[in-house]
Amino acid sequence: MATLTHQESVTAEYLEVSPGTRRKFMLIIVAGVAVLVLGVIMSMLGIGAHHEAAEGAAAAHGAGHGAGEHHGSAPWLKRIIVSLWHNNVFFTGVSAIGTVFMAIQYVAYAGWSVVVKRINEALSAWLVPGLVIMMVVFGLNFINYDLFHWTVPGIMDKGSETYDAIVAGKSGFLNIPFYLIRMVLFLGLWIFFTKRLRDLSLEEDLHGGTEYFHKSINVSAGFLVIYAVSSSMAAWDWVMSVDVHWFSTMFGWYVFASWWVSGIAAVTLCTILLKQAGYLRWVKESHLHDLGKFMFGFSIFWTYVWFSQFMLIWYANLPEESVYFNQRLGGFNGQYTWLFFGNLIINFAFPFLVLMTRDAKRQMIMLKIVSIAILVGHWSDFYLMFMPGTMKGDNGFVIEIGIALIFLGAFLILFTKRLSQASLVPLHHPFLDESVHHTT
């Protein structure tokens, strides 16, 4: 509702992470470790594995791969490595969205989002550990080349036993030194700009004035250009090169859409949880409404990109392209099929129908349910991007969920730590007043 009378002046409020909360986060990690151990034991005993299916599919698949097929690690180890990579790509991508969202708000001179700005800043805290973990897991890949088929030695050397002409044709881009340079460069740039915006924001808290705001706009504009290019290339590197024979020109957008809508869902969920914990006094229905509109709109955007990729491949039906969907729609004895359609339901149909009305976008409970659904849905969207290419038919869920919980707990610890370091309200932001009086 519009409130026309001026409220009392905005004061700083600080998040206090109680020991109980921190214990809860630790408990998530412990639970994750327990689930992980359980999963490893189950995998070693062969419970819930799809060995026969995997072999059948591999035999059928072998014709396409030729001599390039290699034997990876034991299933449990392979699953851990793939799952670490999967979770890290998901969490790092979502984390980067914090800065992207903030940068867009700066460049657009948007006022409404000022009261949730600190959540965006804190969301990007995961980028540094994200880079470290990514490099470590890329190193783990070399145990048995479980993640990236193109890293197998000799795959690009003519005459070698493992030679693969298609992969060799990509050697100019997909070689290990250049890959590592790109990984460090992209994440390094994201970290640099995140830190720059955060520093400017904290300086503004101390000194006030519009100088920091204008500087932030310049930094944001630079970041957005760099992010637009690097996020797309990161998607080829980190996700698409898992299916190294296959390529799609929509893929950069597709991965970005997935990260972006998950990032907005994460911001919404954090806003609601903080509000329910008694913080963020200035966040009103109108702010939630705007976040809800973002979630609604970009769920549709994700579907649009997903469909654009799917339909062209489905219609053209070129074997080297359609193999990707062949694996996911009925490949490996159809074990990915339910996930394929489940993704569409949870990431498109559910947010679309639930958030359609204005009232739903203004209610915390609805937004809470949908943002959790979107986060789970896009985690499984990434699952579906990685698993058929790496695990073939040998995938599972126990180890994967265990590692996801460990990541979640660690992410939350870092996130709340960053969040508690500054006032939840950027007191000297020039648009703060507009944001406090925001109505939709």
Partner 1 sequence: MTKRFALGIFDDEDVLLHAVENVREAGVKIYEVFTPFPIHGIDDALGIERSRLPIAAFFFGLTGLAFALWLQIYTLGFDWPMIIGGKPHIALPAFIPVSFELTVLFCCHGMVITFYTISKLYPRWKTPVLDVRSTDDKFVMAIEVNESTDMTKLTQILRENGASEVNQKEMSKF
Chain residues that interact with partner 1, rule: CB under 8 A: 1-2, 4, 307, 310-311, 314-317, 358, 439
Shortest Å distance, C-beta 208 to partner 1: 24
Q: Which is nearer to partner 1, 312 or 376 (CB)?
A: 312
Shortest Å distance, C-beta 60 to partner 1: 21
Give, for 312, the enclosing helix (H) or strand (E).
Answer: helix 285-316
Q: How far is CA 33 from CA 24, 80, 238, 399, 403, in A?
A: 14, 12, 25, 9, 7
Q: Which is nearer to partner 1, 178 or 314 (CB)?
A: 314
Q: CA–CA separation, 321 vs 327, rounded Å?
A: 11
Shortest Å distance, C-beta 282 to partner 1: 16
Q: Which is nearer to partner 1, 249 or 439 (CB)?
A: 439
Query: 329: which 2 tokens?
Result: 């729609």
Query: 366: which 2 tokens?
Result: 């609805």
Shortest Å distance, C-beta 311 to partner 1: 6
Cβ pair 162, 67 in contact under 8 A: yes
Local structure of residue 67 (DSSP, 8 states): G
Shortest Å distance, C-beta 4 to partner 1: 5
Q: CA–CA separation, 60 vs 393, rounded Å?
A: 12
Shortest Å distance, C-beta 317 to partner 1: 6
Q: Is 336 helix (H, G, I), strand (E, B) or coil?
A: coil
Q: Which is nearer to partner 1, 160 or 286 (CB)?
A: 286
Shortest Å distance, C-beta 355 to partner 1: 14
Q: Residue 243's CB: how many other CB atoms inside 10 A?
A: 19
Cβ pair 145, 152 in contact under 8 A: yes
Q: Which is nearer to partner 1, 171 or 439 (CB)?
A: 439
Q: Which is nearer to partner 1, 27 or 318 (CB)?
A: 318
Query: 183: which 2 tokens?
Result: 């990984």
Question: Tokens 């994460």 label which residue?
Answer: 266
Q: CA–CA separation, 230 vs 234, rounded Å?
A: 6
User: Closest Cα to residue 234, out of 42, 367, 88, 29?
Assistant: 88
Kindly calculate the radius of gyration of the chain based on its CA atoms and give it in whole angstroms.
23
Shortest Å distance, C-beta 307 to partner 1: 7
Q: Which is nearer to partner 1, 204 or 290 (CB)?
A: 290
Q: Which is nearer to partner 1, 94 or 313 (CB)?
A: 313
Query: 306: which 2 tokens?
Result: 């997903």
Q: How far is CA 165 from CA 162, 303, 439, in A?
A: 10, 34, 59
Shortest Å distance, C-beta 265 to partner 1: 24
Q: Which is nearer to partner 1, 23 or 358 (CB)?
A: 358
Shortest Å distance, C-beta 3 to partner 1: 8
Q: Which is nearer to partner 1, 79 or 284 (CB)?
A: 284
Q: How far is CA 15 from CA 281, 379, 414, 415, in A?
A: 12, 28, 13, 12
Q: CA–CA separation, 57 vs 419, rounded Å?
A: 47
- Which residues, including other chains, have CB under 8 Å from residue 301's CB and lie 6 or more apart? 257, 260, 261
Shortest Å distance, C-beta 315 to partner 1: 5
Q: CA–CA separation, 231 vs 224, rounded Å?
A: 10
What 3 state SS string does 233-283 have? HHHHHHHHHHCCCCCCCCHHHHHHHHHHHHHHHHHHHHHHHHHHCCCCCCC
Query: 383: which 2 tokens?
Result: 């699952």
Question: Tokens 């339901």 label which residue?
Answer: 345
Q: Which is nearer to partner 1, 1 or 365 (CB)?
A: 1
Shortest Å distance, C-beta 371 to partner 1: 24
Q: Which is nearer to partner 1, 18 or 317 (CB)?
A: 317
